[in-house]
Amino acid sequence: MKRKIRIAIPSKGRLSKPSIQVLQEAGVNILKKERTYVSETSDSRFDAVFARAFDVPIYIQYGAADLGITGHDVILERGSDIHELLDLGFGKCQLVVAVPENSGIRSVNDIPTVARVATEYPNLCQKYFESIGKQVEILVVRGTAELAPKLGLAQTIVDITETGKTLRKNKLNVIATILDSSCRLACNRIAYRVFESEISELLGKMKRGGN
Amino acid sequence: MFIRLQTPRGTKDYLPPEVERHRYVEQKLREVFQLWGYQEIRSPAIELVEVLSTGVGSDLVDSMFKFQDFDGKIVALRAEMTAPVARIVTTKMLEAPKPIRLFYISNVFRYSQSYLEREREFWQAGVELIGCNTPAADGEVLSLLASFLKKLGLEEVRIDVGHAGLLKDLLRAAGLDKKKKGVLQGLLRYRDEDRLEKFMDQNSFSSELNEAFLRLSRCRRLEELSSVSLESSTYGKTDNYLRALLEVRDALVDYGVENLVFFDFSLVRNIEYYTGIVFEASVPNLGLPLGGGGRYDNLMEKFGKLKIPATGFAVEIEKCLQALASQGFQPLDKRKVKVLVASRFRDSAIKAVEAIRSTGITALLDVTKGGRNEVLEYAKRGGMNHVIFVDFSLEKPAAIYDIQLDTVKNMTINAFLQSMGDDRK
As a whole-number percent, the residues of chain A with pLDDT over 70 amount to: 96
Tell me how many domains chain A contains. Answer: 2
Helix (H, G, I), strand (E, B) or coil at B93: coil
pLDDT above 60: residue A1: no
Q: Which residues pair with B105 in a beta bridge?
A: B125
Interface test with A, best of B158, B190, B261 (most A CBs within 10 A): B190
- Distance from the first to the final alpha carbon of chain A: 34
Answer yes or no: do A87 and A97 share one domain.
no
- The continuous run of DSSP H or E covering B288 comes out as none
Average pLDDT for B234-257: 89
Backbone Cα Rg of chain A: 19
Q: Long-range contact list for B24-31, CB < 8 A, 24+ apart? A: B24/B331, B24/B332, B24/B333, B25/B125, B25/B152, B25/B317, B25/B320, B25/B321, B25/B331, B26/B105, B26/B125, B26/B317, B28/B148, B28/B151, B28/B152, B29/B103, B29/B105, B29/B125, B29/B148, B30/B103, B30/B105, B31/B151
Beta-carbon count within 10 A of A163 CB: 9
pLDDT tens figures, B153-192: 999 999 999 999 999 999 988 888 889 998 999 899 988 8
**Residue pLDDT, tens place only, B123-138:** 999 999 999 999 999 9
Q: Is the same domain home to A64 and A106? A: no
Which residues, in sequence order, are CB contacts of B204 under 8 Å at separation 6+? none
Min Cα–Cα distance to chain A from B266, Å: 11
Structure confidence at residue B37 as a pLDDT band (50, 70, 90): very high
Identify the DSSP state of B166: H
Which residues does B contribute to its contact with A (CB < 8 Å)? Answer: 114, 116, 158, 160, 186, 189-192, 194, 220, 262, 264, 282, 284-289
Predicted confidence (pLDDT) per residue in B41-50, tens digit: 999 999 999 9
Q: What average pLDDT score do residues B78-93 get?
A: 94
At A46, which CATH number? 3.40.190.10
pTM for this prediction? 0.85
What are the strands of the beta sheet with A67-71, ordered from one edge? A38-40, A46-51, A5-10, A67-71, A183-187, A83-87
Check CB contact under 8 Å for B287 and A194. no
Q: For the residues of A158-200, what is the DSSP string, one character each? A: EEEESSSHHHHHTTEEEEEEEEEE-EEEEE-HHHHHHTHHHHH
At CB < 8 A and 24+ separation, what contacts does A191-196 make?
Answer: A191/A5, A191/A63, A191/A66, A191/A67, A191/B284, A191/B287, A192/A83, A192/A85, A192/B190, A192/B191, A193/B158, A193/B160, A193/B262, A193/B264, A193/B282, A194/B158, A194/B282, A194/B284, A195/A2, A195/A5, A195/A66, A195/B284, A196/B191, A196/B220
Q: Are B384 and B339 in contact (CB under 8 A)?
A: yes
Among A95, A94, A105, A103, CA closest to A175: A105
Asked if B158's CB is within 8 angstroms of A61's CB, the reply is no
Q: Are residues A104 and A82 in the same domain?
A: no
Sign of torsion over alpha carbons A45, A51, A57, A59 = negative
How much is the pLDDT for B289? Answer: 93
A39, A79: one domain: yes
Nearest to A6 by CA among A210, A194, A204: A194
Instruction: Compute the nearest-CA separation of A189 from chain B (Å).
Output: 7
d(CA A128, CA A119): 12
pLDDT tens digits, one per residue of B380-421 = 999 999 999 999 988 889 999 999 899 999 999 999 999 888
Rounded CA-CA distance B324/B371 in Å is: 43
Smallest CA–CA distance, residue B171 to chain A, in Å, is 20
DSSP per-residue codes, B317-355: HHHHHHHHHHTT-----TT--EEEEE-S-HHHHHHHHHH
Which residues on B lie below 8 Å from A195 (Cβ)?
284
pLDDT level of residue B271 (50, 70, 90 thresholds): confident
Q: Are residues A136 and A148 in the same domain?
A: yes
Which residues in chain A have their CB less than 8 angstroms from residue B114's CB?
Answer: 79, 123
> Within this chain, do residues A101 and A134 fall inside the same structural domain, yes or no?
yes
A103 plus A31 within the same structural domain: no
Per-residue confidence band for A211, with pLDDT thresholds at 50, 70 and 90: very low
How far away is chain B from the Cα of A45, in angstroms, using its nearest Cα? 15
pLDDT score at B364 = 96
Task: Give phi and psi for B408, each to the nearest 5.
Answer: -135, 140
Express each pLDDT in B138-147 by its tens digit. Answer: 999 999 999 9
| Residue among B186, B262, B287 minimizing CB distance to A188 | B287
Predicted pLDDT of residue B285: 86
Cβ pair B422, B403 in contact under 8 A:
no
Of A61, A85, A207, the CB nearest to B287: A61
Q: Are residues A69 and A99 in the same domain?
A: no
Is the Cβ of A204 closer than 8 Å to some Cβ of chain B?
A: no
A175 and A108 in a common domain: yes
Q: Name the residue range of residue A127's domain.
A: 93-181
Q: Are residues A153 and A100 in the same domain?
A: yes
Q: Residue B333 — very low, low, confident or very high, per pLDDT cuts 50/70/90?
A: low
> Cβ A200–B191 below 8 Å, yes or no?
yes
The predicted model gives B83-104 an average pLDDT of 94
A199 with A171, same domain: the answer is no
Question: Measured between alpha carbons, how far is B40 from B72 in angstroms, rounded to an integer?
Answer: 32
Q: Is the pLDDT of residue B234 over 50?
A: yes
Residue A83 touches partner B, C-beta closer than 8 Å: yes
ipTM of the complex: 0.77
Question: Hey, is A97 helix, strand or coil?
Answer: strand
pLDDT the model gives residue B408: 93
Q: Is A79 on the interface with B (CB under 8 A)?
A: yes
Hey, which bits of B250-382 come out as E strands? 261-263, 277-282, 291-295, 310-316, 338-342, 362-365
Counted across chains A and B, CB pairs separated by less than 8 A come out at 54
- Disruptive mutation site among B159, B191, B260 for chain A (greatest number of A CBs within 10 Å): B191
Confidence of residue A202 (pLDDT cuts 50, 70, 90): very high
Binned at pLDDT 50, 70 and 90, residue B334 comes out as low
The larger pLDDT score, comparing residue B2 to residue B16, is at B16
Q: Say yes or no: A140 contacts chain B, CB-CB below 8 A.
A: no
* Rounded CA separation B56/B78 (Å): 12
Gap from B195 CA to chain A (nearest CA, Å)? 10
Nearest CB to B160: which of A61, A123, A193?
A193
The answer to whether residues B310 and B130 touch, using CB atoms and an 8 Å cutoff, is yes
Residue A210 pLDDT level (bands cut at 50, 70, 90): very low
pLDDT in tens, B362-376: 999 999 988 999 999
Best CA proximity match to B137, nearest among B272, B292, B254, B312: B312
Whether the predicted pLDDT of A149 surpasses 50: yes
Which of chain B's residues have a Cβ under 8 Å away from the Cβ of A61? 116, 287-288
Which chain A residue has the Cα nearest residue B327?
A3
**What confidence score (pLDDT) does residue B338 get?**
92
A199 and chain B: CB distance < 8 Å anywhere?
Answer: no
Residues A20 and A62 in one domain: yes
Percent of the residues in chain A that have a pLDDT greater than 90, as a whole number: 65
**Terminal CA-CA length for chain B:** 59
| Residue A2 near chain B (CB below 8 Å) | yes
Q: How confident is the model at residue B52 (pLDDT cuts 50, 70, 90)?
A: very high
* Per-residue confidence (pLDDT) for residue B231, from 0 to 100: 62
Instruction: Measure in Å the smallest separation between the Cα of B327 and chain A Cα atoms.
Output: 11
pLDDT score, position A33:
62
| Beta carbons of B161 and B292 less than 8 angstroms apart | no
Distances (CA, A) of A132 to A127, A140, B383: 9, 20, 61
The 8-class DSSP code of residue A16 comes to H
Instruction: Give the minimum alpha-carbon distance from A84 to chain B in angstroms, rounded to a whole number.
Output: 7
Instruction: Name the average pLDDT for chain B.
Output: 90
Element (H, E) at A208: helix A196-210
Contact between chains at A193 and B282 (C-beta distance less than 8 A):
yes
Domains of chain B in sequence order: 16-326 (3.30.930.10), 338-420 (3.40.50.800)
Confidence of residue A81 (pLDDT cuts 50, 70, 90): confident
Average pLDDT over residues A173-186: 95
Residue A35: per-residue pLDDT: 67
Show Cβ contacts of residue A109 under 8 Å, excluding neighbours closer than 6 positions.
Answer: none
* Among chain A residues, CA nearest to B157: A194
Q: Determine the residue type at B92.
A: K
Min CA distance, A87 vs chain B (Å)?
A: 11
